[in-house]
Amino acid sequence: MAENGTSELSNIKTMRDVFDYCTKNNLHSVAQGMIELAPPRKLREIVSGLILDESKQYVNQYRNRFGEPPYLNAIKNFLEKHYSTSVSTSSILATAGVTGAIVAALMMLRKRGKSRIALLEPFYTYHSRQVEEVFGFAPDTIPSNPDFSPNWETIENKLKGGLDGIILCNPGNPTGRVWNKTEQDKLVSLCTQYNTLLIIDEIYCDMIFTSTPHYSPIQSTSPPSSHVVVCRGFSKTLAIQSWRLGYAVSSSSNINEMMAHHDPIYISVTWQQHALAEYLEKEYDDFQLHCKTINELLRKNWEILSPAFTKALGWEAIEPQGSMYGMFRHGVKSDIEALQDGLKFGVGVAPASMFYGGNRVNTGFIRIHVGMSHDKAQAIAKTLLKV
């Protein structure tokens, strides 16, 4: 690899940096998590009809600070129908994606005089960035077991030390691991015991590859616990990443506090909330079919890409339980070296050192995303195997 290229790689800090490097050098990238597909046709038709309807141009004005009533009602009905979760609209906040929900929850903690936040390793990089932006310093980290399962002794010791908040991604990014009900309930119990807010990023909750369904603490508690904030969105499932449509579910008191922080930053959630509300209410069968199709595609892409990476680079694939990611164990001296090896085969990956605290050089892992067309997955596999 050219000296200039090696120098560029030394400055890579995020998945987007890898993506930009690959774009500049005309290489494939499976580093940045992105569904490279079109939203459902019926949803797009609703959007186009809405924006062209002269009688509904009011949607382009600022929207309700909590979210428009049709959107909140649609989410309430959707939660009941799709997740067997019963909550009132007062426990739902429309947010600018999952990011908006998490930032609002962190701002709520800061307003309360709280500041010590922890992430469970390996963690989604932007969760760390969000904590840094809100509080001005990096979060604590809580190491998991070697198989990415929770290390309860470490978790409780951290809680005893005075944590104000924990951010968890379920299904996991980057691991693809799904927390089961027993684990989730135990973590909620511990957070409640130590008066810690558990913020759960569930953006991938409809991307499950096993027979065990996704479970969320809000399914078991009505009204939702004040110690839990669940953050969800549609960016990945419906391939509407730039629409920035999400929602938070928590106690009504938390929702009121979070809105007071979310509104000054984001002003209002985009007008597409009206279209998504109509889609969820009138085209629920299409949503279910779309989810099924996406999951089958993700799983098939993993089955195409994982053996190609293993054969080309000797990496050991770790089977994901959900999400749109897969991890591999590599055998070289650093994660950046593993990234460089992948680039020699024409593909950019995410070094797992990005997902750990403490400036670690070698975690022994890399991550790929599989949210692409079947044809693109086959093209990447062909690129890997032809070198």
CATH architecture of 59-282: 3-Layer(aba) Sandwich (3.40)
Q: What is the DSSP letter of 356?
A: S
Residues 263-291 have pLDDT tens digits of 999 999 999 999 999 999 999 999 999 99
Provide CATH 3.90.1150.10 ranges for the chain. Answer: 3-32+287-386
CA angle, 122 as apex, 339 and 358 as ends, to 5°? 80
CB 364, CB 45: distance < 8 Å? no
Q: What is the DSSP letter of 38?
A: P
Residues 21-40 have pLDDT tens digits of 998 999 999 998 778 889 99
Provide CATH 3.40.640.10 ranges for the chain. Answer: 59-282
CA angle, 160 as apex, 156 and 165 as ends, to 5°? 80
User: Residue 61 to residues 70, 144, 222, 240, 297: CA-CA distances in angstroms?
Assistant: 16, 46, 34, 21, 37
Residues 288-328 have pLDDT tens digits of 999 999 999 999 999 999 999 999 999 999 999 999 999 99
Instruction: Please provide the average confidence, as pLDDT, over all residues in the chain.
Output: 94
Please state the three-class secondary structure of 111-136 as a single string. Answer: HCCCCCEEEECCCCHHHHHHHHHHHC
Cα–Cα distance, 38 to 45 (Å, whole number): 12
- Name the strand (E) or helix (H) holding 160: helix 152-160
CB 112, CB 106: distance < 8 Å? no
Cα–Cα distance, 364 to 329 (Å, whole number): 6
- pLDDT exceeds cutoff 70 at 3: no
Give the pLDDT score at 17.
87
For the domain spanning 3-32+287-386, the CATH number is: 3.90.1150.10
